[in-house]
Structure 1
Amino acid sequence: MVRMLTREFGDMIASASQRPISDAALDYARRDLIDTIAVMLAGRNDDTVVRLVQTQRLLADGTPPDILALALQAGTAAHILDYDNVALGGHPGATLIPALLALAKRFPLSGRALLMAWATGYEIWGELRRRHPVLAHAAGWHPSGLIGPVAAAAACASALALNTDQARHALAIAASQSAGLMANFGTPVKALHLGFAAKAGVFSALLARQGITGNDAILEQDNGWLNTWSPHHPADRTTALALGQQDWLLARQPTAIKYYPLCYAAHRIVDAACQLHPLVASRTADIVRIRLTTSQRHSDILRFREPQDRTQSGFSLEFAAASALVDGEITLYSLQQERRARAQVKLLMACCERIASAKADPEREGFALHDQIEIVFRQGDTLCSPPIRYATGDPRVPLTAQQRRKKFDDCLRWGGISENITGLWHTLQNIEQVPCIGEMAIYHLLECDQ
């Protein structure tokens, strides 16, 4: 029997702040907030973000940008470097946290309330994701652009303490704003998908707060959100919500904190290449073939065999493998023009051959069971990486505290911030003690320099 999911989601959102939350879930929420703010600040001066802000200023006609403009800017900045966390088939951190930060600039929100709202939005994201048996990627859609508006609306509804009716109408309003095509992967528009989703979430919650209503069966109706976005694979409209039976999803299925600033589909190949680096560093001139084994889905996503710019390079399996084989790492600097254009990297890219794995990961739709690299030398000998199932930063291979702190520092410096980095780190580590997020210096730091 089809459940009244929109109503159940509304009930859950309205009562979320009263539900107990484990220390583990709060720890993950704090970690995700810190990582998202770091990558957001790293992307604040990116050319795409600057052009977006210039457009917003033109539209504002001299008045300060509103919180909807802030949500769009912050969401775009958080994803423009493709360095933000990943989970549930998408990028919940760079969608929901910018929406909440924008909301907190206008409406009083404590640090703990922000973490609870993030956990709520993440819960809704997970509920929507698990009801689709096949990721939206398979049909050419960007999951963050589809789920993002609805989950962001849930997070903002929780932050605004909307009642059950208002919360479900916020979901209905947001459901009509789902969008995002994979064909725009490898272009700046992909980052705008998350900015649009963050903005939609804020706007939907505020419209519902003012009494605008939508279809209160928008999710489960035969022609509603779940079925519309899963036309060839029947969506699950009968299973009860998990939160009433288990701990928060953040504790059960935490995000992966990215270790490399490029599409997550390439991370296992990068790990494989980094492991091979010390073994091939002195023999790169002898390499005649580099066989890259990954899933067909990931190969399709990483579609740029001869990337022309930074964004395309982040979606190039060949660049990811070659750059990591040469340097033993992929950093923000790896994607700069002079590093991408090195002859040694270009030569290794030309040696790459893609192989579609026949073994699927039973736990993660779209993934191969493992990714692997085999290198063939002109002398006839070969070298294989270990099979990589979980990328560095995956919850099963988590970044160390030192790695997370280094990423934070690197991101802020990349964004042109050099003062009081340690002070901001400590403030964010104790975010639950912050009485009003809107009074933090983070908003000044988010402003681009141009």
Structure 2
Amino acid sequence: MCWVFHDRTEETIMLAITRQTASFVASLKASDPPQACRDAARTGITDCVGVMIAGAAEEAVRIVSAMSTSSTQNDGAPEIPSGRNLTASDAALVNGVAAHVLDYDDVALAGHPSAVLVPAILAEGWSRGASGPDMVTAYVGGYELWAQLAALEPGQLHERGFHPTAVMGAVATAAACANIRRLDSEKTAHAIAIAASLASGLVANFGTMTKSLHAGRTAQSGVIAARLAEQGFTGSLDVLEHRTGFLRAHSPSGQPRIENGTIDIGANWRLAHLGVNVKRYPTCYATHRSIDAMLGLVGKHGLKPERVGEIRVHTGITQKLMLRNSNPRTGLEAKFSMEFAMAAALIAGRVGLAELSDAFVCRDDVKDIIAKVRCSTTTEVMEGDQPFAPADQVSIELTSGEILTCEPVAYAKGSWQEPLTRGELQDKFLDCATRVFDRNQATILFDQLWDIERLGSIRELRLTAIGPTHDEASRRL
């Protein structure tokens, strides 16, 4: 079914994008998505919960948590992993910041869908006693809406300074929460419309605490929008496609396909094709292919820093735009630095949470290698949902004059095209979760999430730390 409406001001026929996508979300049932979509949702949910637990002790999360008061409401949700009861909207906020603060969460659709969808779905699902299949269905609904809107915009939001996670993510989380709350088509459309006015986030804040706030506020916005719509709060039912609406206002190209685009949500399952890309490194995803290449050269040639004269990285122009910190001074800044990523890979032989500390970033040997990194860019863009070059390439000129070159890397390990095995995903999850939980509890939680479609209620998830309190766990980190 396809709706159109007549805008007499412009004398054009525009697609009824808001109503049509809302109809899809409202009618979506657990049995509808293909298995590939459900598998991708399970991967995104599982990985995000692990990263959320690891991020909970970070300073940014502590600050936001301190501003969120405990709740005595029966329809609240837990702060993870402390278990402190918060309102559902505050739980989405705090857990959303935790999910994104390490920049270790998965990537898709040029953003971070799980970091906003999972905290919102957990909060609403917990308050309603929703099942594991309900959670998966809501994830698919939110992702598919985001993917449909992205398909109608030929430009890249990053290039205009917008963070897609906070822009597209706002309407996606509203849709997911509307699905969890079983809103009808019209109220779902109102939830999407409300959230469309709450969408905001700037690339200029990458490398600061505010980037993780984008995720928290986006998850919170989804909860608020769905609850407002349920109570009769209204928005414009053509908000996505209107000439002064969401798609045109945020359009980097200035030409969103709101008149002649294809609305095939529910027929073309984009989650099955695009999936989620799990991060192996806690840095901006724009660095990952180059890190894979650099680690390959280090391992193959047994490289030591003193042998290296210059490191050359060829990457995409939009990737480099995200990587704004060529000379980082903190761990947060280093997450958005190609130069640091190359230095860490060479010096430590890995790029992990330990390397993203202020102390490591400020080491003299790290600074020396950072100064030896040279980046060049291309305007070519690969097919798919990432605004990246077709491949990244790394070469090293040794002090002897010899040049070592790695084969171009098109897909990072952990991507939907080069996925992690169940065991590899579990290793990452346990590395994250055992920063707070003991290994047995972390393993139980991983197994629960991996088998999420068998879960009778989200409240069965072992999300609260047993043993040390949250504050004690934070100090231990």
Partner of 1:21: 33
Partner of 1:242: 264
In the alignment, structure 1 residue 81 sits paired with structure 2 residue 81? no
CA distance in 2: counterparts of 1:93 and 1:293, whole angstroms:
29
Where 2:277 maps in the other structure, the secondary structure is coil
Where 2:388 maps in the other structure, the secondary structure is coil
In the alignment, structure 1 residue 413 sits paired with structure 2 residue 434? yes
TM-score (norm 2): 0.89
Where 1:179 maps in the other structure, the secondary structure is coil
Among 135, 145, 158, the residue aligned to 1:124: 145
Partner of 2:251: 230
Alignment of 1:38-437 (within 5 A): 38-57=50-69, 64-230=85-251, 232-237=253-258, 238-246=260-268, 248-357=269-378, 359-363=380-384, 366-415=387-436, 417-437=438-458
Letter in 2 for 1:15: S
How much does 1:415 deviate?
Answer: 4.0
How much does 1:149 deviate?
Answer: 1.1
Q: Is the 8 A contact 1:277 1:326 kept in 2?
A: no
Further displaced range: 3-12 or 283-292: 283-292
- Give 4+ residue runs of structure 1 displaced > 6 Å after superposition: none
Further displaced range: 428-437 or 18-27: 18-27
How much does 1:368 deviate?
Answer: 1.4
CA distance in 1: counterparts of 2:308 and 2:323, whole angstroms:
22
Q: Is the 8 A contact 2:18 2:192 kept in 1?
A: yes
Where 2:417 maps in the other structure, the secondary structure is coil
CA distance in 1: counterparts of 2:50 and 2:237, whole angstroms:
37
Q: Is the 8 A contact 2:110 2:387 kept in 1?
A: no
CA distance in 1: counterparts of 2:138 and 2:446, whole angstroms:
21
Taking a change above 3 Å as real, the CA distance of residues 233 and 52 of structure 1, as seen in their structure-2 partners, is same
Provide the aligned length of Structure 1 versus Structure 2: 447
CA distance in 1: counterparts of 2:243 and 2:111, whole angstroms:
25
Taking a change above 3 Å as real, the CA distance of residues 165 and 47 of structure 1, as seen in their structure-2 partners, is same
Further displaced range: 199-208 or 96-105: 96-105
How much does 1:427 deviate?
Answer: 1.5
Further displaced range: 419-428 or 1-10: 419-428
Q: Is the 8 A contact 2:90 2:220 kept in 1?
A: yes
How much does 1:227 deviate?
Answer: 0.7
Deviations 1:334-356 (A, max 9, x none): 21234334433222111111111
CA distance in 1: counterparts of 2:424 and 2:192, whole angstroms:
37
- Unmatched segments (≥5 aa) in structure 2: 1-12, 73-83
Where 2:29 maps in the other structure, the secondary structure is helix
Taking a change above 3 Å as real, the CA distance of residues 135 and 415 of structure 1, as seen in their structure-2 partners, is farther
CA distance in 1: counterparts of 2:310 and 2:43, whole angstroms:
40
CA distance in 2: counterparts of 1:447 and 1:67, whole angstroms:
21
How much does 1:46 deviate?
Answer: 0.8
How much does 1:379 deviate?
Answer: 1.6
How much does 1:24 deviate?
Answer: 2.1
Q: Is the 8 A contact 1:89 1:129 kept in 2?
A: no
Letter in 1 for 2:64: L
How much does 1:393 deviate?
Answer: 1.2
How much does 1:146 deviate?
Answer: 0.6
Where 1:256 maps in the other structure, the secondary structure is coil
Partner of 1:37: 49
RMSD, aligned CA: 2.1
Letter in 2 for 1:442: L
How much does 1:264 deviate?
Answer: 0.4
How much does 1:155 deviate?
Answer: 0.3
Further displaced range: 397-406 or 256-265: 397-406
Further displaced range: 281-290 or 183-192: 281-290
Deviations 1:357-412 (A, max 9, x none): 35432445631121111111222111111111111111111112221110010011
Where 2:144 maps in the other structure, the secondary structure is helix
Taking a change above 3 Å as real, the CA distance of residues 292 and 210 of structure 1, as seen in their structure-2 partners, is same
The sequence identity of aligned pairs, in percent, is 34
CA distance in 2: counterparts of 1:358 and 1:438, whole angstroms:
47
CA distance in 2: counterparts of 1:101 and 1:444, whole angstroms:
17
Where 2:311 maps in the other structure, the secondary structure is strand
CA distance in 2: counterparts of 1:198 and 1:282, whole angstroms:
43
CA distance in 1: counterparts of 2:290 and 2:420, whole angstroms:
17
Q: Is the 8 A contact 2:166 2:199 kept in 1?
A: yes
Q: Is the 8 A contact 1:280 1:325 kept in 2?
A: no
How much does 1:282 deviate?
Answer: 4.3
TM-score (norm 1): 0.94
How much does 1:421 deviate?
Answer: 1.6
Where 2:198 maps in the other structure, the secondary structure is coil
Deviations 1:57-116 (A, max 9, x none): 3999xx953111100001110000001111011100010110010112211201111100
CA distance in 2: counterparts of 1:121 and 1:428, whole angstroms:
19
Taking a change above 3 Å as real, the CA distance of residues 27 and 360 of structure 1, as seen in their structure-2 partners, is closer
CA distance in 2: counterparts of 1:22 and 1:279, whole angstroms:
41
Deviations 1:123-142 (A, max 9, x none): 00101111111121010111
Taking a change above 3 Å as real, the CA distance of residues 279 and 31 of structure 1, as seen in their structure-2 partners, is closer
